[in-house]
Homo-oligomer: A and B are copies of this chain.
Amino acid sequence: MPGVPPARYAYLGPQGTFTEAALRSLPAARNAELQPLGSVGAALDAVRSGEADGAVVPIENSVEGAVAVTLDELSSGDPLIITREIHVEVQFSLLAKPGTAPVDIRRVATHPHAEAQCRRWLATHLPDAEVILESSTAQAAAIVAVQDSPYDGAVAAPIAATTYRLATLASNIADRTDAVTRFVLVSRPAAPQPPTGSDKTSLVVFIRDNHPGALLEMLEQFAARGVDLTRIESRPTGTALGEYCFFIDAVGHVADQRMGEALMGLRRTCADVRFLGSYPRADGKVTPVGQGTSDSDFTAAQRWLTSLRNA
């Protein structure tokens, strides 16, 4: 049946990584065309240029790293907005060609971060194996899959087993079992989805100068409206806009009155504010609404003010 062409999503490749797993967890990805790209910048540029309808990239402490790059790429260049946040459990599997037994594994490849997170398991279960580092866990798995591979196994994301047709010899081998990493789906600017009551708003705020108290004044713009933060991260800017910018995730939606007023306060008083989107929280936590900060409180206060002005 002829029809609408499938959506196209770029993601930070290669195939077989947690980023691909994040993208595949989205219903919208099911019938879409998925493009692994070599860097976060390439994935975002594919969206900017219209080649892709969206891109999934890591935004926080991923085993594939790259987070600082994502923040920098989002804070400059043509605007993009985050429309989804995706949590993926960071779990590793030991993968090998079908038929390989654990005892056969003498050379195991992985990414340095994965090595760090599975060190104890590797020391216990593969004490004699040599660990070789590759540029990604997926790359490690890919090399295991080739004929006459120099490696006997790979520590990689579970999804890499499917991608590279490998067998899973052991799963959940990370030393710490509760790690989650966070990815975002990024699109070209558009009106945000309506609030769900469990939303997050991401911003980049450039402060004007750095006197003691400048950060405090910036945060008062949130506090005075009862808006809470779940993330703040300063980064040097090296530009004329001031020494520092701040990546901020605030609890709530741009459509909320309190969030809107806080954003306007930042816009008025800071050197610059870049809106990176309002989207549902992956953890589903309901936005707490403090006394006097609901939309109806704002509306009632506006009515009162109008009555004072026009008494």
> Quick one: closest B residue to A258, CB to CB?
B268
Cβ-based interface call for A215 (8 A):
yes
Residues in chain B near residue A300, CB distance under 8 A:
267-268
A69 touches B275 (CB 8 A): no
User: Nearest chain-B residue to A225 (Cβ)?
Assistant: B265
Q: Which of A26-34, A49-57, A96-104, A287-295 contacts B (4 or more CB under 8 A)?
A: A287-295
Instruction: Place the interface of chain A in its size category.
Output: 35 or more
Asked if A6 is an interface residue, CB under 8 A from chain B, the answer is no
Copies in the complex: 4
**Contact between B66 and A112, CB atoms less than 8 A apart:** yes
Interface residue ranges of A257-272 to B (CB < 8 Å): 260-261, 263-265, 267-270
Q: Which residues of B contact A292 (CB under 8 A)?
A: 268-270
Whether the Cβ atoms of B112 and A302 lie closer than 8 Å is no
Q: Is the interface of A mostly helix, strand, loop or mixed?
A: mixed
Docked CA distance A185–B115 (Å): 23
Q: If A220-B223, A267-B301 touch, does A210 touch B228 (CB 8 Å cutoff)?
A: yes
Bound Cα distance from A265 to B291, whole angstroms: 11
Within 8 A of B (CB), among A290-309: 290-293, 297-298, 300-302, 304-305, 308-309
Q: Is A192 a contact partner of B309 (Cβ separation < 8 A)?
A: yes
Most buried by B among A81, A229, A255: A229
16 A-B Cβ contacts within 8 A? A38-B115, A38-B131, A40-B116, A65-B113, A133-B136, A135-B135, A191-B309, A212-B228, A216-B223, A230-B244, A260-B309, A261-B261, A267-B300, A267-B305, A268-B292, A269-B293
